[in-house]
Amino acid sequence: MSRQNFEEQLDGLHRQLMSMGTLVEEAIHKAIKSLVERDRELAMEVMKNDQLINQMEHEIESGCFRTIALQQPVGGDLRRLGTMLKIVTDLERMGDHAVAIAKTTTRLMAEPYVKPLIDIPLMADHVKAMVRDSLNAYIAKDDQAAGRIAAQDDVVDKLYAKIFRDLIEVMSKQEHTINQGTHLLLVAQYLERIADHVTNICEWVIYMTSGQKTDLNK
């Protein structure tokens, strides 16, 4: 296989990766929207679409293995494909967290919210932007950007801590809110985990460009 063929295969895989990223962003967006608007149908859509995300993971993986087997790349080319193999796992896991959020929507349909959800959608907006930015950093081989994106995890962690505190306070004062509060707390945790997966992706990008593994996930 020629160098040109290799680049073409890699481009194809990158396009698939970005499509998968878009699906994951949409899954997060719709899952949170379904929760905020108590939209059971939208929640079901997120659960159903997760199969597509899993399938894309599998296709990209197969593509990576095929390219490794046919092209037998070394050095930076091999690291690039190895990084992609890692990134799709993180993306797939993000999709699972979106499903978990959508399931929460269906569980909390019975009772009204104690107060409107504000911080959770805010946290989700940050997280979605981080997902997209981290994939762009991978494509652009931009380890500087990767470092900056991972640093934004602090904002997410602070929002998570605030939501955690607020919910504990509400639950302590109104004990009938404990079931709801606990589930919302887990939603915040799913978002926090998605941000952790973004940090993983950023670590892979830095590994790919520098060969050095850093621990950005403090």
Structure tokens given for 8: 């073409």
Residue with tokens 């009204």: 112
Asked whether position 107 contacts its own copies by CB under 8 A, the answer is: no
69 touches its own copies by CB under 8 A: yes
Stretch that binds its own copies, among 2-10, 73-81, 103-111, 122-130 (CB under 8 A): 73-81
Question: Could you tell me which of 151, 164, 135 has the C-alpha nearest to residue 217?
Answer: 151
CB of 61: closest distance to its own copies in angstroms? 8
How many angstroms from the chain centroid is the CA of residue 132? 9
Name the token pair of 212: 């050095």
Give the nearest distance from C-beta 186 to its own copies in angstroms. 7
CB of 37 to its own copies, least distance (A): 25
Distance CA(48)–CA(55), nearest Å, equals 12
Residues 6+ apart with CB under 8 A from 142: 136, 205, 209
Report H helices in 38-74.
Answer: 40-71
- By C-beta, is 75 or 116 nearer to its own copies? 75
Regarding 58 and contact with its own copies (CB under 8 A), the answer is yes
CA distances to 64, 183, 195 from 202, in Å = 19, 29, 11
Selected from 4, 75, 112, 115, the binder of its own copies by CB under 8 A is 75
Q: Which of 20, 100, 6, 8 is nearest to 61 (CA)?
A: 20
- 179 lies in the site for its own copies, by CB under 8 A: yes
Query: How many residues are listed for the chain in this entry?
Result: 218
Residue 65 sits in the site that holds its own copies (CB under 8 A):
yes
Q: Is 68 in the site for its own copies (CB under 8 A)?
A: yes
Using CA of residue 173, residue 177, residue 181, residue 182, what is the dihedral sign? positive
Residue 82 as a binder of its own copies (CB under 8 A): the answer is: yes
Binding part of the chain for its own copies, among 5-13, 70-78, 119-127, 142-150 by CB under 8 A, reads: 70-78
Could you give the string, one character per residue 147-176, with x where binding to its own copies holds by CB under 8 A and - elsewhere? -----------------x---x--xx--x-
What does the alpha-carbon distance between residue 123 and residue 118 come to, in Å, rounded to a whole number?
Answer: 9
Report the nearest approach of its own copies to the CB of residue 86 (Å). Answer: 6
What are the residues binding its own copies (CB under 8 A)?
Answer: 54, 58, 61, 65, 68-69, 72-75, 78-79, 82, 85-86, 89, 96, 164, 168, 171-172, 175, 178-179, 182, 185-186, 189, 213, 215, 217
